[in-house]
Amino acid sequence: MYLDSKDYQTVWQLAHNWVGADPEKNDPLLLSDELKHSIHRLMSAVINQAISSRTRRFILFMDDSFFTLVSDFRHYRKFNKCLRNDEFDKSYLDSIYLKRGEVLRWCQSEFLSPPPIWQVINLDAPKLDEQIDDSDDDKDKWYDNLSPRRKQRIACLEIAKQLWRDNPELSYREVHDHPVMTRYGYGKSFSLNTFKKWARPYASEYAKQGGNKQ
């Protein structure tokens, strides 16, 4: 069925992909705050008709008519339980499908980075090894041209990457509040939420899956 193609993902699958978690291993009762937020964000977009959704049988929330309200009443209840009561029904969330093109358009309108599975790659862009020429580094003074905040960000991420290499079982908070970060002032320069957003591509799987409750 076309719903099994790469052009569709369920809410459960897509939210997990967004935060780098395994949809098959997560317990719905033990989801990380980051994952809950991703699920809520998608469900909210669907219920507000920013993204269309469907089951394997039919489209949901087609319009605001009385007929739609009646026919989709069960789904309204399920969505409200998730959004208002934090009830994450894995089997239900894994039965609601979202389409790639609509999610990408919504991400663009909301200034969000798309889930990795649907990242848009610019095939015309130069390859990384074509963009970097070490021989020009001194001449261009690229580092001196960075703002102080960007320099801090680079240093913060390099320290974080090393800390996770040394100990993958560190949570985002433990890395953010690590003595090394504190010693050099990076822990106070960036909030935990900002750090998590930047560090996500480099974080350990343990941290991404809500290690130590973060």
For 44-89, how does the pLDDT look when each residue is reduced to its tens digit (9 = 90+)? 999 888 999 999 988 988 877 777 778 889 899 999 999 999 999 9
Q: What is the pLDDT of residue 40?
A: 94
SS3 161: helix
Q: What is the pLDDT of residue 143?
A: 65
Q: What is the pLDDT of residue 14?
A: 94
Q: Which amino acid is at 16?
A: H
**Band of residue 188 on the pLDDT scale cut at 50, 70, 90:** low
Predicted model pTM? 0.56
Q: Which residues have C-beta within 8 Å of that of residue 49, sequence separation ≥ 6?
A: 61
Average pLDDT score, the chain: 82
CA-wise closest residue to 75 among 52, 55, 49, 103: 55
pLDDT at 189 over 60: yes
Whole-angstrom distance, CA of residue 17 vs CA of residue 76: 25
Q: What is the pLDDT of residue 8?
A: 94
Find the mean pLDDT for residues 18-30.
87
